[in-house]
Amino acid sequence: MNLFKKYEPTYNILYVSMKVVQILKDGSMKENEYKTLAPKSCCKIFQGNSKSQGNNDLKELYQWNYENSIIHCYGWYDGEAGFENKHEMVPGGKSHFLDADSSVQLLFGDIFLTKTQNKKCKTFDVSDYSEFYNIMFHGFDDCEDEAGEGVNTESEDEDFEPVSENEDEEEYEDVKIEGDELGEDSNEY
């Protein structure tokens, strides 16, 4: 009788690779790929992969409902000057402990964004985040108003008066200040 079974590798285990968005403190973005990721272990894994951190432990800060899924934001809400994250977050995030809206809350260090669907982590890459960002901001990057009219140009502005060359070259007088008091400005403008 053989007490030891020969080791046989198991090939029926499915390793799912997924992407997560990391927003560095300078506002640049990159994608991190993970073989497995469980929502309960995200904080520890992300904190170990961060290049810049805030104070205390990394936490889930905000959630957004989006297209039958939930977008999660992990990061730090407290930190030292100089470690502020430059990225402006999407408005309307819900937090379990922060009162400020996600678009105005100052965050520190790196920010991590994931997507879950039916309580399972799904791939969320930079292009997915870009689409989510634009939809949540309702396309505010368009400078024209709804009627399609942009800012008036000089030729369209009836009140526009061009400045003559002589007015650009006004003479300025050097003023000396004596004592602690400033004199009254009697120049005509």
Q: Compute the average pLDDT of residues 105-110.
A: 97
Alpha-carbon torsion 35, 37, 41, 43, what sign? positive
Spatial distance between the Cα atoms of 92 and 71, rounded to a whole number of angstroms: 12
pLDDT tens per residue, range 154-182: 455 566 566 655 555 555 566 565 655 66
- By C-alpha distance, which of 150, 162, 152, 68 is closest to 116? 68
* For range 134-156, the mean pLDDT: 58
- According to DSSP, the residues that pair with 21 across neighbouring strands are 31, 113
For range 7-27, the mean pLDDT: 70
CA end-to-end span of the chain: 108
How confident is the model at residue 13, as a pLDDT?
36
Tell whether the model's pLDDT for residue 142 goes beyond 80. Answer: no
Residue 9 scores a pLDDT above 80? no
Q: Tell me, what's the pLDDT at 166?
A: 55
Alpha helices (H) in 15-173, listed in sequence order: 42-49, 126-136, 165-168
Phi first, then psi, for residue 23 (nearest 5°) are -105, 115
| Amino acid at residue number 71 | I
Percent of the chain with pLDDT over 90: 55
Helix, strand, coil fractions of the chain, as percent rounded to 5: 15, 25, 65
Q: What is the pTM of this model?
A: 0.66
- Whether the pLDDT of residue 99 is over 50: the answer is yes
Q: Which residue has the higher pLDDT, 156 or 44?
A: 44
Structure tokens, 116: 């879950």
Three-class SS state of 45: helix
Average pLDDT score over residue span 121-134: 94
How are beta strands 29-34 and 18-23 bridged, if at all?
A: antiparallel
